[in-house]
Structures are given as structure tokens and as C-alpha cells.
């Protein structure tokens, strides 16, 4: 609650600054696979693959001398990966194909609140920028625990598991780079790529360390 109040205060403050930026962006994201998984995973031992999630940001900044800007933002990210285990089994002389897929939901909504600093490099019709950010993150996986669905026949067994991590809290940091293209006097479209690191504490598993790699597109209003 205090974090949200501080964000609203900062956003309102930027509106009275001489030079400021307010922006929103969103796009796709993929993530690394944590070493630790929750207990009760039924498809352990199969092929683990990265999957596509989503990432959205709202941010505001005040422009400083030497093409620097400092600001605050809030992010929403979905983080998960998939494990698939396919094998044949023989029951009463009949070969059964088993296809077990587990979707590990690290977070339906990891929400970092962060400070950032960017360096701008002026270019034709816009500017390139790069920077660092750090802050606090809360992660929610919704209903934690194991859920199962699927079907079984005489020759095929196909099961879908949803294994959710527990809610977690921790530290967030990121390295960001992008390009902002001027559309008109005060409106820019920006393309951004980031490497984001989440380190969170939970009780199943105890520690969640994961890297996310979002690519986003957004709009910026600059005064």
C-alpha cells in the first residue's frame, strides 16, 4: 500500500517538472528455468522447455542534465515453463503411450516496483537509451499446488499437470536498452529489450531465482 502511494506521488510530481516522461509498454517475454521446483511434480525427468509469457510496464521519469533521466516504474510479468515426458509402457501385452505435460507456473503476476536511471544518446528523429533499474517484487501464482486434467484410453494416456509455485517476495534488478522514435512534437514510440533478474523467497521451493528476457513496444509522452 505504501509502495502504491509513493508511485502515485512520484507520478503526480513529474507532471509539475519542467521536463518529464510518462510511458507505457508491453510485449512478449521468455525466462530461464529455475533449478528448484515445487514438490509433487509428476513429470520430473522429461524435457524441460522455455515458454512465452508477457510483460507490461508503466513508468515516469524526470529529465536531468547530461541526457540522464531518473524515474520509477511498475511492471507486471507472467513467468512459467513446461516439462514434457513421453514414454511407452506395456500393460497386459498392450503398449501404452504416456504423454505427461507439467506447466510450472512461477508467477501469473510478478509485480516489481522499481527505480531506474537511463542515459539517452540523441539520434535522428529520436534517441537510443540504456539504463539500470532495481526494486522490490511480489509474485503471485494464484492457487498454489498441483492440479491435473487429461484422458486415458487402452493405448494412450495424456495428462496435463499445473504445478504452481507459492507466493513469493524479493529483489528485482534489470538492464535495459531501447530506441525511442519521435512521432510528433511530444509523442514517441519506443522499442525496448531487457534482461530482468528476479530473486524471491517462498516456502515451496524456498528460493526462486529466474532471468526474464522481454521485448516490448510502447508509447512515451515527453514534455
- Encode pLDDT of 164-199 as tens digits: 888 889 999 999 999 999 998 899 999 999 999 999
- Encode pLDDT of 84-96 as tens digits: 888 777 766 677 7
How many of the other CB atoms lie within 10 Å of CB of 54? 14
The string of DSSP codes covering 2-23 is HHHHHHHHHHHHHTTSSSEEEE
Pick from 28, 213, 207: nearest CA to 106: 207
Per-residue pLDDT at 10 exceeds 50: no
* Domain boundaries of the chain, sorted by first residue: 2-222
Per-residue pLDDT at 133 exceeds 90: yes
Residue 60 near residue 14, CB atoms below 8 Å: yes
Per-residue pLDDT at 4 exceeds 70: no
- DSSP H or E segment with residue 156: strand 156-164
Residue 144 near residue 129, CB atoms below 8 Å: no
Per-residue pLDDT at 22 exceeds 90: yes
> Is this prediction's pTM over 0.85?
no
CATH of the structural domain 2-222, one choice from 2.70.70.10, 3.50.50.100, 2.40.160.20, 3.40.50.2300: 2.40.160.20
Helix/strand/coil (H, E, C) string of 141-172? CCCCEEEEEEEECCCEEEEEEEEECCCEEEEE
83: exposed, middle or buried (Cβ count in 10 Å: 0-12, 13-18, 19+): buried
Question: Coil, strand or helix: which one is 116?
Answer: strand
Amino acid at each position: 500500500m505504501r509502495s502504491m502511494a509513493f508511485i502515485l506521488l512520484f507520478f503526480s510530481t513529474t507532471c509539475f517538472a519542467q521536463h518529464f516522461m510518462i510511458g507505457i509498454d508491453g510485449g512478449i517475454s521468455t525466462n530461464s528455468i529455475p533449478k528448484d521446483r515445487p514438490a509433487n511434480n509428476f513429470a520430473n525427468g522429461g524435457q524441460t522447455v522455455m515458454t512465452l509469457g508477457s510483460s507490461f510496464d508503466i513508468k515516469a521519469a524526470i529529465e536531468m542534465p547530461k541526457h540522464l533521466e531518473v524515474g520509477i516504474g511498475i511492471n507486471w510479468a507472467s513467468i512459467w515453463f513446461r516439462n514434457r515426458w513421453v514414454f511407452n509402457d506395456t500393460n497386459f501385452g498392450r503398449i501404452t503411450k504416456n504423454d505427461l505435460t507439467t506447466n510450472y507456473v512461477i508467477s501469473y503476476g510478478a509485480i516489481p516496483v522499481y527505480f531506474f536511471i537511463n542515459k539517452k544518446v540523441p539520434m535522428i528523429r529520436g534517441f537510443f537509451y540504456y539504463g539500470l533499474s532495481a526494486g522490490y517484487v511480489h509474485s503471485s501464482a494464484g492457487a498454489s499446488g498441483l492440479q491435473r486434467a487429461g484422458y486415458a484410453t487402452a493405448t494412450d494416456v495424456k495428462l496435463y499437470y499445473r504445478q504452481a509455485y507459492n507466493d513469493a517476495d524479493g529483489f528485482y534488478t534489470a538492464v535495459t536498452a531501447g530506441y525511442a522514435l519521435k512521432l510528433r512534437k511530444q509523442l514517441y514510440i519506443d522499442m525496448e529489450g531487457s534482461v530482468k533478474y528476479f530473486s524471491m523467497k517462498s516456502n515451496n521451493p524456498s528460493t526462486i531465482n529466474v532471468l526474464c528476457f522481454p521485448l516490448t513496444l510502447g508509447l512515451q509522452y515527453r514534455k
